[in-house]
Amino acid sequence: MTRPSGDASFKMMAAVAALVTFSNLCLLIALVSNYWIYANGRDGVLYLGIWKGCTVDQCYTQTAGVYMKTIFIITFIVAVLVNVVVLLNFKYDFSTIKGYKKYVGKLMLAFAFLEATGMTHASILFILSVFYSSLHYAYFVGWIAVASAFAAGVLSFYHGHIEPEIEDTTTTVQGTTTVKSESPPPYSVMP
């Protein structure tokens, strides 16, 4: 397999960064929104979210789904940290860190799995609810976050597979190549 050009490699890194950012943004929208399902009007409930359910007059706290909320919040916090690292790669070039792209890919695939677990739990909670009428936008935005995290993971893992990280090497006086990670001698003799 041939290595991609520098331009293609940059585009793949940019695509991964964009997908990670988009996934986090979608997950944030799904987290803060109260519009996961339209309710059927039973007991005056108009719509439900993971945090609140609302009637015409008031909103009440949604106590169900603690597991789902916990997964979403922890995944979001860690995914934001990964997002920062992915964006810092453009400034500090982490291409010398062995397996960096594959690690990002594995993390994003794990986030996609955790988000899918939370979304499946939300689907069961809301669709089997006695208030269910139809799905609202935050439900779909949550699944878009899952798809984006999965796509970022696959693309980053693929990028790491076709373009492994560069070994940081130095050339010695004799013309041989040594790996920079070797420890220097305890003292040096100046000529």
Provide the CB-side half-sphere exposure for 191 (13 A, CA): 0
Number of H helices, E strands in the chain: 4, 7
Average pLDDT of the chain, as a whole number: 85
Residue 184 lies in a domain: no
| Residue 7 predicted with pLDDT over 60 | yes
Range of the domain at 172: 6-179
- Is the entire prediction scored with pTM above 0.85? no
Residue 45 lies in a domain: yes
User: Across the chain, which distance is largest between two alpha carbons, in Å?
Assistant: 89
CATH of the domain at 123: 1.20.140.150
Mean per-residue pLDDT, 184-191: 56
Mean per-residue pLDDT, 55-76: 89
| Structure confidence at residue 184 as a pLDDT band (50, 70, 90) | low
Cβ atoms 16, 86 nearer than 8 A? yes
pLDDT of residue 163: 83
Residue 188 lies in a domain: no
Residue 72 lies in a domain: yes
Contacts of residue 93, defined as CB under 8 A and 6 or more positions apart, other chains included, come to none
The lowest-confidence range among 61-65, 101-105, 108-112 is: 61-65
Number of structural domains, the chain? 1
